[in-house]
Amino acid sequence: MQTEIVIAGFGGQGVLFAGQVLAYAAMDSGKEVTWIPSYGPEMRGGTANCTVIVADEEIGSPLVRHPQAVIAMNLPSLDKYEPLVAKEGTLIINSSLIERSLQREDLKSVLIPANEIAESLGDKRLTNIVMVGALLTAVPVLPLEAIEQALEDHLPERHKKLLPLNFQALRAGADLVHKEQIGQQS
């Protein structure tokens, strides 16, 4: 099985870090993985993005045309990637910054007020980890515990004090999606 994920937002939202954490968690879990960040002029306020592929077998190409899942952290990211998501794919949308509805009806969408959740935890920089928690609940390619372990193992020492907040952010995003899924089954 292979899962292709794009994480997109504007520079400063932790898009590349979120992708790195996913890649480390997958690698540490024994999966095949690629992580491709997008740098350049996009970092100056446009759409910054990275692609993560997690697979059980060797990955043939790191390039992704139609990802199964996209985290859209801002409106330009949704505008850019909604048309590209694979049919029946999943869009995790930061509803704190995106107010428009989807134009496609063949996608699963999950609306997460990620900025508000991060701010309620005391640090808006946690928005990206809230979104990762939501993603992994909607598209369970890795367990949340793998992300927690990757954060512990790969976070620079100077940021280790932020681990408990990162764990809370991860679980808050996951809990919101879990509650939404239970609500849809009722």
Using one digit for the tens of pLDDT, what is the confidence trace for 129-155? 999 999 999 999 999 999 999 999 998
Quickly count: other Cβ atoms within 10 Å of residue 43's Cβ: 16
What is the band of 24 on the pLDDT scale with cuts at 50, 70, 90? very high
Task: Give residue 50's region: left, alpha or beta (phi > 0; psi -120 to 50).
Answer: beta
pLDDT for res 45: 58
Enclosing domain of residue 140: 2-185
Instruction: Say which DSSP state 101 is in.
Output: P
CATH of the domain at 58: 3.40.920.10
pLDDT of residue 46: 63
Q: Is the pLDDT of residue 42 over 90?
A: no
Number of domains forming the structure of the chain: 1
CA 115 and chain centroid, separation? 14
Q: Check residue 179 and give its pLDDT.
A: 85
Two structure tokens written together for 6: 């794009």
Q: What is the mean pLDDT of the chain?
A: 92
CA–CA separation, 143 vs 153, rounded Å? 16
Higher pLDDT, 39 or 146: 146
For the residues 110-139, what does the mean pLDDT come to?
Answer: 96
